[in-house]
């Protein structure tokens, strides 16, 4: 969807066969990486909280994915197709301002989710020491949010008007 409403998000369905295989491979790879990130540094496999976290996370992602494929296949591709690890305006993909879904309430909903998720993982795993890097990661995401917001306001047509309608970056009614 563009700021002018000329595009409809999620209007093209996924090619189910290829997408299913791709999603399954990515799911298995992500769970394998998660297991490695947890158990290799721990040096042991008898960490019950970590196994519960892995199975809980895997179950959530799998069930959400299956529900999404059945009820709304476009949902599996995310509301904002312009998510990127780099802050840049994607002129090559005709980037527009996404204003639907969680973007209706906050300008950076994915970052808001990560900021909550990271320290929660440390607590779920029972690692108070992990709260230190979690806090650092959260600070980095808050800084990135400000920098990205500044870039979007300066370079993405329609974003400044969007910030007038959606005033909060991360937390509705707060900031």
pLDDT score of 35? 96
| pLDDT in the model for residue 70 | 77
Q: Which pLDDT score is estimated for 6?
A: 35
Contact between residue 2 and residue 97 where contact means Cβ atoms under 8 Å apart: yes
Tens digit of each residue's pLDDT (9 = 90 or more) over 31-81: 999 999 999 989 999 999 999 999 999 998 888 878 877 776 665 657 555
Give one DSSP letter per residue of 82-119, joined into a string.
T--SS----GGGT-----SGGGGT-S-HHHHHHHHHHH
The pTM of the full predicted model, rounded to 2 decimals, is 0.67
Sign of CA dihedral 144, 34, 62, 11: positive
CA 25 to chain centre: 19
Share of the chain above pLDDT 70, in %: 77
Give the Å distances, CA to CA, from 155 to 90, 97, 109, 129. 10, 11, 20, 40
Q: Which domains does the chain have, with CATH numbers?
A: 1-77 (no CATH), 89-175 (1.20.120.1630)
Question: Is the model more confident about 133 or about 64?
Answer: 133
- Model confidence band, residue 15 (pLDDT cutoffs 50, 70, 90): low
Give me the pLDDT at residue 102, please: 86
Report the SS3 class of residue 72.
Answer: coil
């Amino acid at each position: 969807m563009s700021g002018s409403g000329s595009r409809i998000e999620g209007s093209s369905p996924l090619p189910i066969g290829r997408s299913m295989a791709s999603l399954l491979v990515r799911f298995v790879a992500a769970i394998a990486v998660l297991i490695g990130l947890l158990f290799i540094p721990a040096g042991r496999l008898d960490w019950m909280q970590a196994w519960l976290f892995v199975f809980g996370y895997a179950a959530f992602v799998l069930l959400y994915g299956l529900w999404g494929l059945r009820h709304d296949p476009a949902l599996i591709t995310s509301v904002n197709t312009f998510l990127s690890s780099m802050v840049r305006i994607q002129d090559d993909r005709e980037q527009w301002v996404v204003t639907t879904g969680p973007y209706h309430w906050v300008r950076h909903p994915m970052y808001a989710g990560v900021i909550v998720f990271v320290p929660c993982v440390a607590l779920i795993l029972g690692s108070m020491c992990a709260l230190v890097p979690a806090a650092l990661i959260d600070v980095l995401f808050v800084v990135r949010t400000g920098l990205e917001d500044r870039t979007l306001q300066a370079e993405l047509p329609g974003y400044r008007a969007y910030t007038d309608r959606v005033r909060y970056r991360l937390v509705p009614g707060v900031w």
